[in-house]
A and B are shown apart, each in its own frame.
Chain A
């Protein structure tokens, strides 16, 4: 089983839709979790950290489920500019980040 798994998509959704991505991780000792966004031919950029209590930033909500070893990202009221690849990132203390393969989102007009 791979360390971090994501559905590669693509997820094609209309503007204004709500879309959710899940990411599963294999190592129960993982401690830090993040969502990164990568636009085509650009570098990954930190979208948000994922805390045990969950966190929300505007239209974006991230949740962590340690028991089932997955994190989720919910995007409400999708915009055209949300089209990108969303990378799940998992980290254990003293280890490098492990990036998932990414989920591609296309928001359609």
Chain B
């Protein structure tokens, strides 16, 4: 069983569209995250969720909105996609916020054309 699963794996879409990426973890972890890895391979935190509560929201555009129906799911919705949004988006989870290693999903490669 996949511990942290993301869908879709690849997403190609046009500028201006709205899209969502789904993430689910079956590890029973309390905290989930979204990271963005750009073309230079830097991994940057976007959001953290702990027991359905947003605990850190880094300075990302408000076109990005995380949605967590329960502690096993953290979806990422993106409005009005721009070319600069093209990147790989990783979902991750950890048992305790920031206190131990993360388990990452396999990533969603988003290409905006």
Residues of A whose CB lies within 8 Å of any CB of B are: 32, 34, 36, 42-46, 49, 85, 87, 91-97, 99, 101-102
Verify B45–A97 contact, CB threshold 8 A: yes
Chain A residues with CB under 8 Å of B58's CB are: 96
Q: Are A99 and B43 in contact (CB under 8 A)?
A: yes
- Asked, given contacts A42-B106, A45-B104, whether A99 binds B42 with beta carbons under 8 Å apart, the answer is yes
Q: Which one of A46, A85, A87 has the greatest number of beta carbons of chain B within 10 Å?
A: A46
**Residues A43 and B41 in contact in the complex (CB < 8 Å), given A91-B98, A94-B98, A97-B98:** no
In the complex, which residues of chain B have a beta carbon less than 8 angstroms from the beta carbon of A102? 41
Q: Taking beta carbons and an 8 Å cutoff, which residues of B are in contact with A?
A: 33, 35, 40-45, 48, 56, 58, 90, 97-107
Output the least CB separation between A102 and chain B (Å).
6
When chains A and B are docked, how far (Å) is the Cα of A87 from the Cα of B101? 13
Closest CB in chain A relative to B95 CB, distance in Å? 12
Which residue of A44, A49, A85, A96 contacts B90 across the interface (Cβ within 8 Å)? Answer: A44
Selected from B33, B40, B42, B98, the residue in CB contact (under 8 A) with A32 is B98
Q: How far apart sit A97 and B101, CA to CA, in the bound complex (Å)?
A: 9
Give the secondary structure class of B's interface: loop
Provide the bound-state CA to CA distance between A99 and B106, in Å: 17
Interchain CA distance A71-B26 in the complex, whole Å: 32
Docked CA distance A9–B42 (Å): 15
Shortest distance in angstroms between B27's beta carbon and chain A's nearest beta carbon? 13
Tell me the complex Cα distance, A36–B99, Å. Answer: 15
Please give me the residue from chain B that is nearest to A99 by CB atom. Answer: B43
**Nearest CB in chain B to that of A43: its residue:** B104
Please judge, given known A-B contacts A87-B43, A97-B45, A101-B41, whether A46 and B99 are in contact too, CB under 8 Å: no
* Chain A CB within 10 A, most for which of B35, B43, B90: B43
A91 proximity list for chain B (CB < 8 A): 98-99
